[in-house]
Amino acid sequence: MGNGGLIIMSNKFIGKSVKRVEDKRFITGKGRYTDDINLPGMTHAYILRSPYAHARIKSIDTSAAAAMQGVVTIMTGDEVGHYGVPCGWQVNFKNGDIMKEPPHPLLVKDKVRHVGDAVAMVVAESREIAQDAAEAIVVDYEVLPAITDASKAVEAGAPLVHDDVPNNICFDWEIGNPKAEVDEAMASAAHVTTLEFVNQRVSPNAMEPRSYIGHYDGVYDKYTLYTSTQNPHLIRLLMCAFVLGLPEHKVRVVGPDVGGGFGSKIYHYTEEALVTLAAKKTGRPVKWTETRSEAFLTDAHGRDHVTKAEMGFDGDGKIVGLRIKTFANLGAYLSTFSTAVPTYLHGTLLQGLYTTPKIHLDMTCVFTNTTAVDAYRGAGRPEATYLLERLLDLSALEMGVNPTELRLKNFIPAFDGVTQPGYQTNVALQYDSGNYHGVLHRGLEMLGYEDFRKAQKEAAASGKLLGVGFSTYIEACGIAPSAVVGSLGARAGLYEVGQVRVQPTGKVSVFTGAHSHGQGHETTFAQVVADRLGIPMEDVDIIHGDSDTVAFGMGTYGSRSLAVGGSAIMKSLDKIIEKGAKIAAHKLECSPDDIEFVDGKFTVKGTDKSLGFGDIALTAYVPHVYPANLEPGLDFSSFYDPTNFTYPFGCHIAVVEVDKETGATKVKRFIAVDDVGNVINPMIVDGQIHGGLAQGIGQALLEGVEFDGNGQIINGSYMDYAMPRADDLPMFELDRQVTPCPHNPLGVKGAGEAGCIGSTPAVVNAVIDALWSAGHQVKDIRMPLTSERVWSAMQS
């Protein structure tokens, strides 16, 4: 254990690009998503939402709607407004005061705080009737001025989102070295690069919209919630303990197939509690599925930071200090993990890959009349990476040096975390293992830096603008251990559960609390189990997503599933093998210490006497010839609480071409050299990187939620919100370096978010480089880099 190697595995499946076993049902349209489930007697809910970003509700008249044929019940804030969903992470003000935590009611009765805030829920015999009835509800609003920009919401006189939260400040927070030390370092710097920018708000856009079914069985007094979620057990815990006060053992939460989340399905949403309440009230199942328009308004958004960042260098180009002031927009209400994202998932990553001796982040987290903001693929780490990597490339331009040499000069030296200790940052974290020079060198080989600079000059002569941008990122996955995150304010543990049940015939059912929403757990985990037990993958079934089946779980987010969930399964596999060895030793008449388990066989060392895995499984359940004092059965469950985060890292390089006449930007090449530790299924890791790159490049060039002065989203549909499409992207050039994680049994680090974390600044840096090459010395172009914004930058 703990050496990061895979010495005890057969390597029959690990490291192989096994095709995803779940894909047959997905690509043949047979996936079973929540909205595919129809229960007998089911009713349908429609939620009436506020058309205003900020308004007092003077009255709600549901009488006409209630009288419509087919309407089963109508709920408003008067009935359920005292229930509210909680925030899962407490952060304190700098002065120690607890953050402002205004209620987030299931339905609003006093005032609405963002467009899409829920005012009433109609339950009817069909979706059509429910929507028709909702449109017949008359709400009298007194419209109030709205505020959407976090940096302006704190100003005196700004509208107050919550009447009792002064200046809309949820909390202020800082991390790093004492501010005075950083100020001193910056004052001594030979060069300071200053960058003011917005890391814009994006909409998650999971392919499957959120969908929930509430069900109450009066015979057994049992609730079932079907939900498109990333973590069914956490939803059950939050809803039972903190929202509705239901007994947890009487509530089953099922997450069927889930069609993507990107973070947005981590959180406990009001509608989950509403359908549960409505099911009890009506005695009938209640389904609610959002429309795409509602998804834009209500699925928690990502990013939205307004930042001023300064990086100081000495005369040799060594970084001497980093000073940052950021306003983070939390939206109108606190979503489940919203407070952790700009703080512990962002401030802690500001060391980057660099030896920066003095760092200080001053963070203000702010309420606005907007959709709640929470973790979105990368969650805080992309914002940290964007800040650092933009500063690095811009500093190189300002100082007239090679951006890659500037990085190499400032990188933390390689360390394996085994023979060399982890790297202690100035922002709380201790990196596990890393070889940062390696990924940059490999990226440069793939790019051909000097050749590119030559091509850039030649292109300029023929009227084309080429640019290259770099991003050497680090991130933190598998957030843990529980005691540490608890001390930082998490109101949950961050371990994972893995149960391995060997059936009498030697077939294996694995129960994991890590719930796939598209990542391919059913394949990757089966590869690990089949490899460890030396059995065919077909003999392994991965079961996830049902709180009645899986003991417990913390779900899938933060690239944690394999590093934490896979490790929990590994712990149970060890217990299975240990017990199997005892059974084998008894039957083979030797000491358990003399048994070795290789390729699915328990063998007496140095002999040809052995028993197969299936023989031992059968013996465990038919224990006729069996060790005394050993329980029958072969079924173990384990909780794995990691000792540290894992720290994937990598080098992303973008080459762009900018149309001088229009500002249109095309990504011509994208190179990604990622080090995610050991790799179980290279194809799945590549797929995760591809998807992450698409989203990261999407943020750079295409995506961004835009509000008008009244707090309306002006691009809340796919006609106006630009998602990255295949023809927006080049063929990706991927490579990998492997620096195993030293502290988990698989040596894995996590790959789900890396692509999204590294890529955004590489693209923006490349555009800035292209513009500098033509003499336009702009520091920043606001993301997304629409053609007009790039063109405007070239007019100055």
Applying CB under 8 A, the residues found at the interface with another protein are 127-128, 131-132, 135, 291-293, 661-662, 664, 702, 706, 714-715, 718-723, 728, 786-788, 791-792
Q: How far apart are CA 31 and CA 27, in angstroms?
A: 8
- Name the minimum Å distance from CB 129 to another protein: 10
Q: Three-state DSSP class for 140? A: strand
Structure tokens that stand for 51 in this block: 């058309």
Q: Three-state DSSP class for 425? A: coil
What H or E segment, with its residue span, contains residue 187?
helix 179-188
Which residues fall within 8 angstroms of residue 344, CB to CB, at 6 or more apart?
89, 91, 380, 485, 488, 489
State which residue, 503 or 715, has the beta carbon closest to another protein: 715
State which residue, 516 or 760, has the beta carbon closest to another protein: 760
- Name the minimum Å distance from CB 729 to another protein: 13
Among 302, 168, 177, 178, which Cα is nearest to 695's?
302
Q: How far apart are CA 723 and CA 725, in angstroms?
A: 6
- Name the minimum Å distance from CB 164 to another protein: 35
State which residue, 168 or 786, has the beta carbon closest to another protein: 786
State which residue, 190 or 723, has the beta carbon closest to another protein: 723
State which residue, 352 or 663, has the beta carbon closest to another protein: 663
Which residues fall within 8 angstroms of residue 187, CB to CB, at 6 or more apart?
none
- Name the minimum Å distance from CB 792 to another protein: 7
State which residue, 73 or 787, has the beta carbon closest to another protein: 787
State which residue, 134 or 169, has the beta carbon closest to another protein: 134
State which residue, 24 or 292, has the beta carbon closest to another protein: 292
State which residue, 294 or 753, has the beta carbon closest to another protein: 294
- Name the minimum Å distance from CB 135 to another protein: 8
State which residue, 132 or 257, has the beta carbon closest to another protein: 132
State which residue, 110 or 135, has the beta carbon closest to another protein: 135
State which residue, 12 or 666, has the beta carbon closest to another protein: 666
- Name the minimum Å distance from CB 786 to another protein: 6
CB-count burial class (<10 Å; 0-12, 13-18, 19+) for 781: buried
One-character DSSP codes across 520-558:
-HHHHHHHHHHHHHT--GGGEEEEESBTTTSS----S-T
Among 770, 779, 796, which Cα is nearest to 665's?
770
Strand ranges, E, within 714-770: 732-736
Q: How far apart are CA 394 and CA 387, in angstroms?
A: 11
State which residue, 67 or 598, has the beta carbon closest to another protein: 67
Number of H helices, E strands in the chain: 20, 28
- Name the minimum Å distance from CB 705 to another protein: 11
> What Rg do the C-alpha atoms of the chain give, in angstroms?
27
- Name the minimum Å distance from CB 718 to another protein: 6
Among 38, 40, 79, 554, which Cα is nearest to 274's?
79
Q: How far apart are CA 574 and CA 522, in angstroms?
A: 20
Question: Which residue do the tokens 């017990």 mark?
Answer: 579
Beta carbons within 10 angstroms of residue 796's beta carbon: 8
Percentages (nearest 5) of helix, strand, coil residues in the chain = 30, 25, 45
- Name the minimum Å distance from CB 330 to another protein: 24
State which residue, 628 or 719, has the beta carbon closest to another protein: 719
One-character DSSP codes across 49-72:
E-SSSSEEEEEEE-HHHHTSTTEE
Which residues fall within 8 angstroms of residue 673, CB to CB, at 6 or more apart?
439, 440, 442, 443, 446, 650, 651, 652, 734, 735, 736, 737
Q: Side-chain half-sphere of 318: how many Cα atoms within 13 Å?
A: 10
In the chain the first and final C-alpha atoms are separated, in Å, by 59
- Name the minimum Å distance from CB 293 to another protein: 7
- Name the minimum Å distance from CB 134 to another protein: 11
- Name the minimum Å distance from CB 661 to another protein: 5
Among 237, 219, 223, which Cα is nearest to 280's?
223
- Name the minimum Å distance from CB 791 to another protein: 6
Among 352, 353, 350, which Cα is nearest to 307's?
350
- Name the minimum Å distance from CB 297 to another protein: 13
